[in-house]
């Protein structure tokens, strides 16, 4: 019943806030764009992604297998018992340390592939990291994951003990609230852990960007520059945060490498996200999804075969952490195509916004080409991979859209 309500709410929010009726440019236009891209850059991007693929899919598969083995057999529950034993089987120790132990096993198994990925990034000149800074990044990410994971696990199992009958309703509300809170504090608490941010230096570029934002009706106090070059040679920009924490960030690499007009084209895309409040939309969808996931867990709790297989008595048993993580892994993979589809449509809308705001499709096209060449994009990725995982329209789609705008504007 509650799950039905959440699914309806999800569908309604998605229907209202996601631009469904904007299909990608015709394939023939995409192929024309592909032909006009420098062949060596296209080949290099393809080779790069071909080199990344075995590690990426290997890690995905290995992570899923480990999660399923630990979650669907009694092995996970036994591991959690073992970790909780020094603490007398205390539920907090089982839930939090047990959760860490289960995640740790998956991380250890996939760590070699993560390191291998980094070697590919270096071989292709995209990474600017040393193994020391790479390791520090990894440890920081673990620490943040540990804090969030501990809060989520303590909340889930704590509510299950406080409210044995209605725990799932409280947990659903809590999961939604946590998602919103995370989106809100992310730019001020999480991003500074990985990068330094400084207001863009005064000058014509900054003036133009602020002026463009004003023209667009998006009040932007500042454009922040991130020291992304400490990690990567890739060019990028993004919008994050909600309300008072909302900000537009450009990579220092972008400011360094791209002509001012192309930086403006990138920021015009980000202003599209800000104006359409895409972070808000994503957060609401995420919050509803998180609440629905808790309801699904509650329903799975009455599947005795599943519980027996996992060696636990109830889905609220702290030894169920491994099963929860297995369910999360499967749900994440199952949701990926829909999530990617929604993301691509939202990104295409931001692209359209950039074209309308700059009214300069040729600069937008040059910018797309520079980003693709510099970031070693697979400009026309394999169809299945695109449908499963592509968060953005492909480069050939984006260039075709810019050309369609140019034809329409003339």
Catalog residues that contact Zn ion under the rule CB under 5 A. 347, 350
**Of the two residues 246 and 319, which places its CB atom closer to Zn ion in the complex?**
246
Our CB check for Zn ion shows the closer of 273 and 319 to be 273
Smallest separation (angstroms) from Zn ion to the CB of 364? 13
Report, in Å, the least distance between residue 273 CB and Zn ion.
5
Q: How many other CB atoms are there within 10 angstroms of residue 135's CB atom?
A: 12
- Give min distance, CB of 72 to Zn ion, in A: 37
Q: How far is the CB of 381 from Zn ion (least distance, A)?
A: 17
- State which residue, 118 or 368, has the beta carbon closest to Zn ion: 368
Q: How far is CA 353 from the centre of its chain?
A: 22
| Cβ–Cβ under 8 Å, residues 291 and 176 | yes
- Which tokens go with 119? 């070697």
Nearest distance from residue 56's CB to Zn ion, in Å?
21
350 with 273: CB under 8 angstroms? Answer: yes
How far apart are alpha carbons 273 and 249 in whole angstroms?
12
Q: Which residue number, 98 or 241, has a Cβ lying nearer to Zn ion?
A: 241
Q: For Zn ion, give the closer residue by CB, 124 or 186.
A: 186
Q: Which residues of 79-103 are buried (b: 16+ CB within 10 A; e: fewer)?
A: bbbebbeeeeeebbbbbbbbbbbbb
| 263 contacts 371 by C-beta, under 8 angstroms | no
In whole angstroms, how far apart are CA 329 and each of 56, 154, 190, 201?
15, 20, 23, 43
Residue nearer to Zn ion on the CB measure, 33 or 350: 350
| Closest distance of CB 203 from Zn ion, Å | 25
Q: How far is the CB of 41 from Zn ion (least distance, A)?
A: 21
CB nearer to Zn ion: pick between 321 and 350: 350
Sorted by sequence, the CB contacts under 8 Å of residue 170 that are 6+ apart come out as 159, 162, 163
Residue 107 burial by Cβ neighbours in a 10 Å radius (0-12, 13-18, 19+) = middle
């Amino acid at each position: 019943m509650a799950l039905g309500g959440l699914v309806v709410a999800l569908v309604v929010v998605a229907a209202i806030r996601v631009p469904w009726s904007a299909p990608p440019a015709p394939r023939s236009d995409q192929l024309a764009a592909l032909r006009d891209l420098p062949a060596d850059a296209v080949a290099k991007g393809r080779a790069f992604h071909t080199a990344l693929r075995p590690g990426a899919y290997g890690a995905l598969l290995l992570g899923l297998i480990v999660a399923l083995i630990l979650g669907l057999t009694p092995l996970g529950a036994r591991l959690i018992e073992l970790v909780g034993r020094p603490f007398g089987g205390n539920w907090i120790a089982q839930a939090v340390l047990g959760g860490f132990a289960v995640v740790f096993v998956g991380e250890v198994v996939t760590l070699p592939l993560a390191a291998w990925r980094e070697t590919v990034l270096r071989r292709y000149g995209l990474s600017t990291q040393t193994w020391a800074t790479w390791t520090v990044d990894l440890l920081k990410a673990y620490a943040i994951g540990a804090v969030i994971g501990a809060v989520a696990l303590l909340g889930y199992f704590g509510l299950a003990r406080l409210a044995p009958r209605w725990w799932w309703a409280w947990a659903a509300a809590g999961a939604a609230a946590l998602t919103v809170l995370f989106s809100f504090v992310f730019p001020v608490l999480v991003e500074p852990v990985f990068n330094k941010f400084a207001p863009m230096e005064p000058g014509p570029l900054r003036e133009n960007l602020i002026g463009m934002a004003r023209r667009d009706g998006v009040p932007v106090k500042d454009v922040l520059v991130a020291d992304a070059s400490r990690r990567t040679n890739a060019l990028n920009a993004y919008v994050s945060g909600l309300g008072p924490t909302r900000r537009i960030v450009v990579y220092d690499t972008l400011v360094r490498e791209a002509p001012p007009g192309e930086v403006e084209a990138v920021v015009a895309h980000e202003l599209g996200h800000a104006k359409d409040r895409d972070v808000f939309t994503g957060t609401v969808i995420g919050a509803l999804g998180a609440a629905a996931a808790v309801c699904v867990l509650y329903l799975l709790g009455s599947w005795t075969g599943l519980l027996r297989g996992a060696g636990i008595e109830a889905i609220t048993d702290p030894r169920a952490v491994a099963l929860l993580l297995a369910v999360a892994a499967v749900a994440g993979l199952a949701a990926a195509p829909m999530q990617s589809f929604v993301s691509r449509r939202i990104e295409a809308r931001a692209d359209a916004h950039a074209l309308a705001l700059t009214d300069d499709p040729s600069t937008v096209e040059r910018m797309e080409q520079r980003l693709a060449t510099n970031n070693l994009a697979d400009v026309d990725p394999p169809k299945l991979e695109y449908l499963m995982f592509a968060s953005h329209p492909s480069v050939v789609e984006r260039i075709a859209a810019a050309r369609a705008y140019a034809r329409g504007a003339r």
